[in-house]
Each structure stands twice: as structure tokens, then as C-alpha cells.
Amino acid sequence: GAVVSQHPSWVICKSGTSVKIECRSLDFQATTMFWYRQFPKQSLMLMATSNEGSKATYEQGVEKDKFLINHASLTLSTLTVTSAHPEDSSFYICSARRHGAGIIQETQYFGPGTRLLVL
């Protein structure tokens, strides 16, 4: 159990276009989903925390108008990179926290990632 999927797995787009990435929890409900970005040979950087039905909380330095996050249901969150530029090229990874998880069960389940290349 506890499978998280992402779609698409990779995308190539032209500069200026918008790209939407979906994150789904397949066999559990996720109260909270997290979006990370990872550059080559670096660790994961948290971009934002998304709670179902409310606005996402963005980390310092992450532009909320550029990285639009929607968490419309307990199984789906989307990240839209608006007007993408080459510097937005990165590996985007989502994770989900199980609904009703207590402290002991606080484990994030990660998706396989989406590689974005902006030309």
C-alpha cells in the first residue's frame, strides 16, 4: 500500500508555456501533500506544503504565482509551473502524508518524480 503516482514522468516544453504536474495517492487518502524540487546532485528542496481544501503554504523564496498548487481532493494535488523558463528545469517530486496519520505513522510517501526540461 501507500503508492503515490505522478504524471507526467517527464516533459519537455518551450520557454513561456505552462506545465501541469499531477500527484495522486492511489491507495490512501492524503491530508497533506508536499512538493519538492531537486537539481542534479543536490538534495530535495521543499517548495510548498498543500493541505486539502486550503491554500498551499510556500517556502521562502518560492513564488506562489509562478508555482500554482491545487489540492482539490484527498487523493490529488497539482503543481502548475506557469510561464516556464530554462531555469525552472528540474526534477519535481511530490509526497503525501496519510490522512489521519498520527505521530508514530508520520511517514511521507514519495512519487516517482517528474523531470521538466524547458527549452
Check binding of 90 to other proteins (CB under 8 A).
Answer: no
User: Which three cell numbers, joined as nine digits, stand for 53?
Assistant: 481544501
Tell me whether residue 16 or residue 112 sits nearer to other proteins (CB atom). 112
User: Smallest gap, in angstroms, from Cβ of residue 104 to other proteins?
Assistant: 9
Check binding of 108 to other proteins (CB under 8 A).
Answer: yes
Amino acid identity of residue 111, one-letter, is G
Q: If you search the block for the grid coordinates 504536474, which residue do you land on? A: 21
What whole-number distance in Å separates Cα of residue 12 and Cα of residue 70?
22
State which of residues 1, 43, 54, 60 lies at the interface with other proteins (CB under 8 A). Answer: 43
What whole-number distance in Å separates Cα of residue 4 and Cα of residue 21?
13
Residues 67-86 that bind other proteins (CB under 8 A): none
